[in-house]
Amino acid sequence: MLTLDAEQTVGDFVRQKPTRARVFESLKIDYCCGGKISLSQACRKRGIEVGAVLQAIHQSDELADADTLVNVDTMGLAQLADHIETTHHAYLRDELPRLDAMTEKVARVHGDKDDRLPTVRQAFLILKTELEPHMMKEEMILFPIIRQLEASAERLDFHCGSVANPIRQMEREHDQSGAALALLNEFTDGYTPPEWACNTYRAMLDSLEKLEADMHQHIHKENNVLFPKAIELEQERG
């Protein structure tokens, strides 16, 4: 049996086995933006007993079907950047305009009956406005730098100085997106529809919940896998 170390960071737990993200999602333990703290610290923060969480992780590991989620830890950096673009960025490019229309419609039609809806709409717009240029910067600036780093055996001089500089900026933007997502979760009572909610309202909540889960995976792959590996590679190149 694999020994699980509660002093390991939450991000590392998920890096080693992506299926563990489901355990953290269900316990509302932040493994992406907040993934740099140890599991024991994260449990203290959430007021849950670390032993029970380790047990849940152990059970999830036993059940995990290794083929159901990609193991990003074994990918090369260019391959991982491609994977992020073709899955998470592609998903957001489809989903953000769809959710834009849905949140607008639900707030317009039901806003007078449920005063949380205009706030949900505002929080969504903030998120969308942040994410679109953020993805563009990753695709046009940071990911090409990371691909070049991996492809070259020598030290490279980038316009931005060290790769750590754009990474720091991207991580700051992830924190902002994480905060907007947490607000969406809070304003919708964890995506719970009121009894009278119509199908569009329910579909909107369902899509927002999926958006949150996908964003957590997305930010985790960048903050805890791609970015630290890129920084390490740059240091190796001297």
Interface residue list for Fe ion (CB under 5 A): 138, 222
**What is the closest distance, in whole angstroms, from the C-beta atom of residue 85 to Fe ion in the complex?**
8
Nearer to Fe ion, 30 or 138 (CB): 138
Q: Which is nearer to Fe ion, 123 or 215 (CB)?
A: 215
- Work out how close the CB of 92 gets to Fe ion at its nearest, in angstroms, rounded to a whole number: 8
Residue 142 vs 205, nearer CB to Fe ion:
142
CB of 134 to Fe ion, least distance (A): 6
Residue closer to Fe ion by CB (options 12, 222) is 222
**Closest distance to Fe ion from the beta carbon of 145 (Å):** 14
Instruction: Give the tokens for residue 106.
Output: 């639900």
Nearer to Fe ion, 212 or 222 (CB): 222
* 135 class by beta-carbon count within 10 Å (0-12 exposed, 13-18 middle, 19+ buried): buried
Distance between CA atoms of 85 and 212, rounded to whole angstroms?
A: 17
| Least distance in angstroms from the C-beta of 212 to Fe ion | 15
- CA distances to 120, 174, 185, 191, 235 from 196, rounded to whole Å, are 18, 34, 19, 14, 57
The span from the CA of 78 to the CA of 76, in Å, is 6
